[in-house]
Amino acid sequence: MKIKIFAMTHKKFEEPKDSLYQPLHVGRACSTDLGYPGDDTGDNISALNCYYSELTGFYWIWKNYHEADYVGTCHYRRYLLNEREQIFTEAEYRGLLENYDLITTKRVCLNNSYHEGFSANHNRKALDMTGEVIKELYPEYYETFISLVYSNETYFGNMLVTSKERFDAYCKWLFTIFFEVARRIELETGEDAYHKRVFGFISEFLLLVWVRVNRLKVYECKVGMLGEKAETREMKEQLATFFEEKDFLGAEKYFLQKHKERPDVLMEASDVTGELRLCMQVIATAKQEQKHYGTNVLEGGRSFAELMKLFAGLNHVVCNYQNGRNTREDVLFLQKNNVSEIAVQIAVMILKENKERIRQLQEQILKDRKKVPETLEQ
């Protein structure tokens, strides 16, 4: 069993030392040569990279690479991880592929349906037309497409490992659909680079459709990042400055502008540590506290790291209550850190629960929060 994993890239990067991983320069036909093998040789769509993103690499592997029994894709910064949260070795992949049809990322649970989220940030016509094309060309997939597009799950990153035969079958299905969609809609020639990558985004979701219809046995794993995105790091540094200046309104304005420019900043693949989501929670909490109390959490003089630790701890407490695992230590955390009622209410509202359950959790936590330590159960 020979395996080859292609690390899709558009910039120079520090390659994994394991020869299992092979850099592949995607979009090389329209960019400066990096010195890596590119997707612009043989049968290729490299020049369409602005619309297809890493899928131009998928197409190249499908059409031009035939030297391995199993193939996979990852990114220059993003890799699938084993249970020890380390990059998979070839031996580990071999073991998994003896028992699973495909290896990919853990599914992402969205706050809204995939259709709603996509429509808010991208060209909705492309997604709707994808459904129409599937209905016409692959009707056996249409019912599953509709069911999943209005649910809140998706894969992300276009990262997978499977047999070359199955990879080729997936690519044939995927590109048949996308080439037909491209013939029927006007692609976003005037959009920025991020929004142009419409097929790169939709394909992340279509992998889930393909997996479900074909009843594949899938091993889902974590994704590791080698270094944080420069944009994410820059946002955190700027937000830290706003927090230090106790300027939650400035932080809110900055955050909303950045999120408008890059709707993916809060996705797991970008916000690796989850700290941008915590920043959003800090801003919402400070704003409401100031409105109701005349003071807010930023007045406490905590550093950025301390704020992140506080709100991560608060969310951990809330999750313990949600899952019925709350203890005396959770209440002591709220009391010791003087966590406000508003902070608790907002933390609970973030949960994926119905309104009645949210109300119950808020009442339970706030009731326990008022208890004196001596009356708390061990």
Q: How far apart (Å, rounded) are the C-alpha atoms in residues 34 and 54?
A: 16
Helical ranges in 74-113 per DSSP H: 90-97
Residue 285: pLDDT over 80:
yes
| Residue 185: band (very low, low, confident or very high) from pLDDT cuts 50, 70, 90 | confident
188 vs 142 pLDDT, higher one: 142
Q: How far apart (Å, rounded) are the C-alpha atoms in residues 327 and 158?
A: 40
Evaluate whether 40 touches 93 at the Cβ level (below 8 Å). no
| Residue 227: band (very low, low, confident or very high) from pLDDT cuts 50, 70, 90 | low
Q: Which pLDDT does position 269 carry in this prediction?
A: 58
How many Å separate Cα 194 from the centre of its chain?
A: 15
Residue 96: pLDDT over 90:
yes
Q: How far apart (Å, rounded) are the C-alpha atoms in residues 365 and 348?
A: 9
The mean pLDDT of 42-51, rounded to a whole number, is 95
Q: Which pLDDT does position 272 carry in this prediction?
A: 65
Q: Which pLDDT does position 191 carry in this prediction?
A: 57
Residue 187: pLDDT over 70:
no
| Residue 61: band (very low, low, confident or very high) from pLDDT cuts 50, 70, 90 | very high
Q: Which pLDDT does position 115 carry in this prediction?
A: 93
Nearest C-alpha neighbor of 56 from the set 174, 190, 191, 136: 174
Evaluate whether 204 touches 155 at the Cβ level (below 8 Å). yes
Residue 273: pLDDT over 80:
no
Residue 36: pLDDT over 90:
yes
Residue 47: pLDDT over 70:
yes
Range scoring the smallest mean pLDDT among 43-57, 119-133, 171-185: 119-133
Taking the complete model, does pTM exceed 0.85, yes or no?
A: no
Nearest C-alpha neighbor of 141 from the set 169, 109, 106: 169
Q: Tell me how crowded residue 260 is: count the other CB atoms within 10 A of its CB.
A: 10
The residue extents of the domains of the chain are: 3-225, 230-375
Q: Which pLDDT does position 77 carry in this prediction?
A: 83
What is the SS3 assignment for 86? Answer: coil
Tens of pLDDT, residue by residue over 155-176, are 989 999 999 999 999 999 999 9
Evaluate whether 361 touches 321 at the Cβ level (below 8 Å). yes
207 φ, ψ (degrees, to nearest 5): -60, -40
The DSSP-derived string for 297-314 is GGGG---HHHHHHHHHHH
What is the SS3 assignment for 329? Answer: helix
Tens of pLDDT, residue by residue over 113-133, are 999 988 887 788 999 999 999
Q: Which pLDDT does position 233 carry in this prediction?
A: 81
| Residue 310: band (very low, low, confident or very high) from pLDDT cuts 50, 70, 90 | very high
Tens of pLDDT, residue by residue over 313-365, are 999 999 999 989 899 999 999 999 999 999 999 999 988 788 999 999 999 99
Residue 270: pLDDT over 70:
no
Q: At a CB cut-off of 8 Å and minimum separation 6, what does 103 contact?
A: 72, 80, 93, 96, 97, 160, 161, 162, 218, 219, 220, 221
Q: Which pLDDT does position 110 carry in this prediction?
A: 82
260 vs 253 pLDDT, higher one: 253
Averaged confidence pLDDT in the chain: 91
340 vs 190 pLDDT, higher one: 340
Q: Which fold has domain 3-225?
A: Spore Coat Polysaccharide Biosynthesis Protein SpsA; Chain A (3.90.550)
Evaluate whether 64 touches 42 at the Cβ level (below 8 Å). yes
Q: Which pLDDT does position 204 carry in this prediction?
A: 94
